Structure 1
């Protein structure tokens, strides 16, 4: 059973001084009284915007009714904002916001009448003058009567035979509450400075106890800091911690903070931690976060915090969490281990403070405060956080329309996409995935359907909306700003990245929006076979498919050769293996670095009498060129086939030098460029190869696409059939001269066109720029992983001779287990196992394989840092 904390359920009030008290005694020595509070028993001062709102509602209804300078707000439960307003130590009324009508109301409490009645100039209903009341026999309090003249809906003051009370007017009728004699009452009108003075003793005790708590635990870990959010609670904690001798503090800028908060945090001398993921990219896939589904916190706060703590090590973090903030925090202990970040021990020195104590303390110590509180916000944080009240968000629409307009536009679009009623975004129902009872009741009363699992029911589809597809298949990424990094340019084109860290690009990378749009455009607008017709669709398809070959050839500097589209790199390698004429005694030389796709097709030639020589690597994983030269000098080597970059170690092979050796000994050269093409500039003339094979799905292209480039028509087609011939007779056939000779049957037309768009996309960014970007990330990852105890890194040693692939192992943790933990605990997707390179794994004595992280142009420094932090966490827990 959850224990109930020792929360303060009453407010103390000194009637003589007319001030609230946070303890049982007043400095004047007078006797104090207790005012019961409503759950969750938290109360705060009414600040400038609150006072203006209450004063405006009073004036609108009752005339120029003065407010005392000290007014308190006791938060209560409701559909949205609901505050019990306390003035002069009595209930003034209930301040509420209606998210459907989008307006505030103030319902006056009977206890307020002695204070306000002498000043009321309108809004009083004389029940004696109402025919329905005068004809009524018996008790009037608690009854409902029709009104003879129109009266605006809302709260009203009623009078009857020298007694007064309050009532609620709705639809031309008034429901009367209790009527009582009212004696006007007058009390002093102190300001908050006097409230502070009367509470000075209690404030000193609060400060002393909080500082003592901080000092008690600040040395429990090697270092100590303050978690600063820019809100009042963390501001108080920052002040207290600095009194205790703690200087270091950090602020996580989620990217959704209000500018006033960021500016305030900077003014307090705290370290600003840059934002984590891109919320607006993630939300397109994950949908709006909810109070019951706050995935955004993990992306925007926990991930940056994990990176920060990984660099800091175990620490004590002083935080401003309080019992009164939420049900989840109502049993918060003095210290608690952060479940999301084991490196962090959290200390909560003000957990038993109410918001009133926090404000009084900050005013007493003349500590600066975030200006947003005076502007009407109760909660300071991400401006679109689901925990923000609709009343506050309505105010933000006026303060920062440049921020709220973007979010409103998304919510409307999301609701339309998912068939949700307008109430989803108009009433703030997006704030819950499963609606709570109070919101289900609102929906039921207004005819909004709710499913059995309490999610919103789809709205009736009277008009089907069809999105217009733009023909932008060749769209390029926007030109980068001068100081913009590669990921900044392009991540918006990869919506799938939103809430994950994808580091499995060596297996398959993602396609950007222009490639996806090209595929959709083909299917929707000109889907047709190629080279087999004269109608308009086949002419369009044929031209674009042919043009895609030209684009790919240009991308690799291979316009002078033959560029054939295949299913993948494996298909391309097999075409060479099966298309060359082999003789017994021929030899093929390859390397220990090869993927199975560049090994098994050559082993299969043994039944034709072809021998296979496997060249080893040096201690730094570089290819043993001396051994290759010796093999070539032995004679009989028909073909050398090498990977351009290892898919396990990331090392690149010196292809130009290998090409020179091949020419000297009369051997052909095939280069497996599956891993190099997406990461670095590749030109077949510079490589000096005879064949280049690569896959489209590793370089932003569609799956099921690949390329075989040949210096000349060096092989026989492995597949015969339609489309690869000029003519067929009874005696034989005449094969086509170009790439068509090797593309029998119906090809992957849309995929080939998409591959052409992918190379356009890469070219627009610049392969040299991509290579420099990944080179920096690779160095950062290798350095970070190498500094973790128990982690062994397997990667190329020379920065200029490697790509963005890094393999590693963690002592005592199976690679598959590590990969699963990274996915489940940190949303990081990596590869584990042998990576289709078992001979290399045997050579490295890694029977279980490795964990492999592989980058792409869209990978960010923050993602690399998060991986390092997550691996460090796994290593610590092994």
Structure 2
């Protein structure tokens, strides 16, 4: 049962003044009577659209029947909208919406006949003229009779021997309810101003108690604010809070609010917090939210709220929650700790108010109200919220077709994709993951299958197979941004996996956009074949596109003059250099303490061939010790210098051109590990001055299992021999191919290579300079935010112009793995923890347990960075 004072189960009515009362007494001092209400007892005024609807339904059935100014609605249970209509303090009828027929109906109550009969000009059945009734002997009430003339289905007035009652016509028959003598009645017709005047004493008490509650708790935390939604309840609370001396208020724009609400919020001088995520991107992955599965609230409300609270710190938030809004608020206390945001203590000063009290208070105080109420909405919020009614959504189709059309299109497509019946979207069954009893009964009535877990059964006839796109790869480029600066919103639609998560582990692997995925699928579906062998059409297509992908990658790095070889990753590319050069005892290799294990272990293995390895260090600002490098090079016998372009732990960019100059001066070959630089900044091998560039495709929007080795000259012996890497073979020997084929023996990852070509086209279309500037801003924002948190230590390059979007940090007293797990489980933020395959660097930094690492990509947003900062702050506070 809902927990509330027993007085709230009834409405008081003054028959002398003919007005509803929110307390036992009327200003006229006349004795009042009780009007029983139905659960959940949340009585409210009928507003402009409600009144127009009731008048229309009355007119359609009975003619021009007048309504008084004061009409109340008592929400009740049903398959959709179901309101008990109260007129003159009596039951007038039931206003309902049928989600199947998409129509409203008004079933009048017997108590309404005294007011309707004097004006009714149609909708009356005279039972004395019906043959079936004439032939019947006995009681009429409760019986069903066939009608001689057709009558539209619905509620009717029945007359029989000076008695009247109501009946329901269906399929040519009328079912008669009780009949009784009816005396026409007229009552005074006060307006809402009179109602307010008669309730003034009670309204003053409500206001006094609410303000007292606010003042009692507003100093419980260092700051206080109002959570404003644009609805009537939060409007009342905002007005009360301002009377109590609270000025600060905020509104979270979910991105799927109605424009009238956003405009109304702005007019109230409330701070608007921009949306925390893209609902339409998330829904493609997660599916429609439901009343029993409201994943959207976390994405669109709780995440931005967490960011906002991180800026305000511990606070008291005054909210408009009421007992009667929903069952889960029926036990709401005066104060409550927000379980999702420990920084927030929520105060509910109007928790015992019904909607009637809220409207009367706002009208009494002449406070502006969201215009959507008068337009027919009873619940203000996201226009496609599953908690709304289908009746409201039907009205929105008229008010805002530009909004509902998009949602309708998605629901239809989702239903077809999953083989769900049309009722899923036509009746609003999408609003539940597991259907409640009332909707299961509706499905049973109409023959719609329901599973044992109360989900809808699939309709095999409607199952639509997913058809891979067959657009050519040349059309897979994103449109060049029109703005001067790139924003991730321009591309996030291409990454549906991002919908309901915050992915900050891009240094490990990035996601592939839809054009890359489609290119891979296109290969598998349309022209899967080996390359360089055979003459049939499929192999010709595959060979041409695979070759073309090499050209694209070469062009992307300015390496047309060298040789671009596809590998399975950057690790394999580095190992090809280690195994392909001719080493002799006494040769030396130089690398750095910053290196990933992939640019360290291959050189360690050369010790078996008598090759020595030197590792140069870094200073306190994580900059390479170039003096040490020059000293080693001056000693002679250095065959190769292998250096990362950017650290996958610290994000620092190494001075590649200076190192290249030193290598040229001393005759050493130069290898650059570009695994972390290629996805984040412009890279041109002519500028680098290197002999080898190695990088991975899966870190730069390409598929896994793809990588690149670029060589200035053919300095390497092929590490693998076999088919495809030769021009001819004899018993005595072979002639190797001249191009990249020499280093790609066997069947390569054809589809992956082609898709990698699409990935570099995708990045080039955005512009690597724009991506770098975007990530530079995000990195500075993250470093600044994390550095301000007590107990957090940040490990990142100091110069904003020589770092990429990789930031490592630790929280005092908490293991990095535990931090990463908490971020995932509590905030849907995915980061990396541990040594990041750089254990020697971790030992050098004195971090035996490693760090937490957040790494960005072009699709990373400021909001995601802010949420990470807020979540880390929350973890640090609780350590």
Which category describes the TM-score, using the shorter chain as reference length?
over 0.9
**Structure 2 Cα separation of the partners of residues 580 and 63 of structure 1:** 97
Contact conserved, 1:486 with 1:765, CA < 8 A, in 2?
Answer: no
Residue range with higher mean Cα deviation, 344-353 or 180-189 = 180-189
Tell me by how many angstroms 1:526 deviates.
1.0
**Structure 1 Cα separation of the partners of residues 7 and 533 of structure 2:** 81
Deviations 1:777-831 (A, max 9, x none): 0000000000000000011111111000000011111111111111111111110
Tell me by how many angstroms 1:482 deviates.
2.0
Secondary structure at the residue paired with 1:719?
coil
- Equivalent positions of 1:523-672 (< 5 A) are 523-672=524-673
**Structure 2 Cα separation of the partners of residues 471 and 106 of structure 1:** 53
Contact conserved, 1:672 with 1:692, CA < 8 A, in 2?
Answer: yes
Match of 1:497 in 2: 498
The alignment's TM-score, normalised by the length of structure 2, stands at 0.99
Say whether residues 1:448 and 2:448 are aligned partners. Answer: yes
Match of 2:761 in 1: 760
**Structure 2 Cα separation of the partners of residues 76 and 70 of structure 1:** 19
Contact conserved, 1:472 with 1:514, CA < 8 A, in 2?
Answer: no
Secondary structure at the residue paired with 1:178?
strand
Secondary structure at the residue paired with 1:866?
helix
**Structure 1 Cα separation of the partners of residues 262 and 597 of structure 2:** 52
- Structure 2 regions of 5+ residues with no counterpart? none
**Structure 2 Cα separation of the partners of residues 860 and 390 of structure 1:** 34
Tell me by how many angstroms 1:486 deviates.
2.8
Match of 2:789 in 1: 788
**Structure 2 Cα separation of the partners of residues 184 and 47 of structure 1:** 26
**Structure 2 Cα separation of the partners of residues 7 and 417 of structure 1:** 51
- The CA RMSD over aligned residues, in Å, is 1.1
Contact conserved, 1:472 with 1:517, CA < 8 A, in 2?
Answer: no
Match of 1:316 in 2: 316
Change (3 A) 1:566 1:226: same
- Equivalent positions of 1:227-306 (< 5 A) are 227-306=227-306
Contact conserved, 1:223 with 1:315, CA < 8 A, in 2?
Answer: yes
Secondary structure at the residue paired with 2:178?
coil
Change (3 A) 1:461 1:708: same
Deviations 1:4-46 (A, max 9, x none): 6657100000001000000000001111000000000001100
Contact conserved, 1:7 with 1:352, CA < 8 A, in 2?
Answer: no
**Structure 2 Cα separation of the partners of residues 29 and 344 of structure 1:** 44
Tell me by how many angstroms 1:469 deviates.
2.5
Deviations 1:494-551 (A, max 9, x none): 1110001110000000111111111111111111111111111111111111111111
- Equivalent positions of 1:808-827 (< 5 A) are 808-827=809-828
- Equivalent positions of 1:118-267 (< 5 A) are 118-267=118-267
Say whether residues 1:95 and 2:75 are aligned partners. Answer: no
Say whether residues 1:105 and 2:93 are aligned partners. Answer: no
Change (3 A) 1:473 1:84: same
Match of 2:373 in 1: 373
Change (3 A) 1:721 1:754: same
Match of 1:332 in 2: 332
Secondary structure at the residue paired with 2:460?
coil
Match of 2:478 in 1: 477
Tell me by how many angstroms 1:465 deviates.
5.3
**Structure 1 Cα separation of the partners of residues 426 and 194 of structure 2:** 43
Contact conserved, 1:679 with 1:803, CA < 8 A, in 2?
Answer: yes
Contact conserved, 2:419 with 2:462, CA < 8 A, in 1?
Answer: no
Change (3 A) 1:468 1:581: closer
**Structure 2 Cα separation of the partners of residues 572 and 760 of structure 1:** 22
Change (3 A) 1:190 1:247: same
Match of 1:772 in 2: 773
Contact conserved, 2:589 with 2:613, CA < 8 A, in 1?
Answer: yes
**Structure 2 Cα separation of the partners of residues 840 and 468 of structure 1:** 45
Tell me by how many angstroms 1:479 deviates.
2.5
Contact conserved, 2:253 with 2:275, CA < 8 A, in 1?
Answer: yes
**Structure 2 Cα separation of the partners of residues 112 and 473 of structure 1:** 69
Match of 1:714 in 2: 715
**Structure 2 Cα separation of the partners of residues 383 and 610 of structure 1:** 69
Secondary structure at the residue paired with 2:443?
helix
- Structure 1 regions of 5+ residues with no counterpart? none
Tell me by how many angstroms 1:463 deviates.
7.8
Match of 1:28 in 2: 28
Contact conserved, 2:416 with 2:462, CA < 8 A, in 1?
Answer: no
Tell me by how many angstroms 1:470 deviates.
3.2
Tell me by how many angstroms 1:467 deviates.
3.4
**Structure 1 Cα separation of the partners of residues 460 and 653 of structure 2:** 59
Deviations 1:220-257 (A, max 9, x none): 01100000000000000000000000000001110000
Tell me by how many angstroms 1:461 deviates.
1.5
**Structure 1 Cα separation of the partners of residues 738 and 602 of structure 2:** 26
Secondary structure at the residue paired with 1:461?
helix
**Structure 2 Cα separation of the partners of residues 150 and 203 of structure 1:** 52
- Equivalent positions of 1:684-699 (< 5 A) are 684-699=685-700
Residue range with higher mean Cα deviation, 127-136 or 64-73 = 127-136
Change (3 A) 1:7 1:434: farther
**Structure 2 Cα separation of the partners of residues 605 and 138 of structure 1:** 109
The alignment's TM-score, normalised by the length of structure 1, stands at 0.99
Contact conserved, 2:488 with 2:859, CA < 8 A, in 1?
Answer: yes
**Structure 2 Cα separation of the partners of residues 472 and 20 of structure 1:** 69
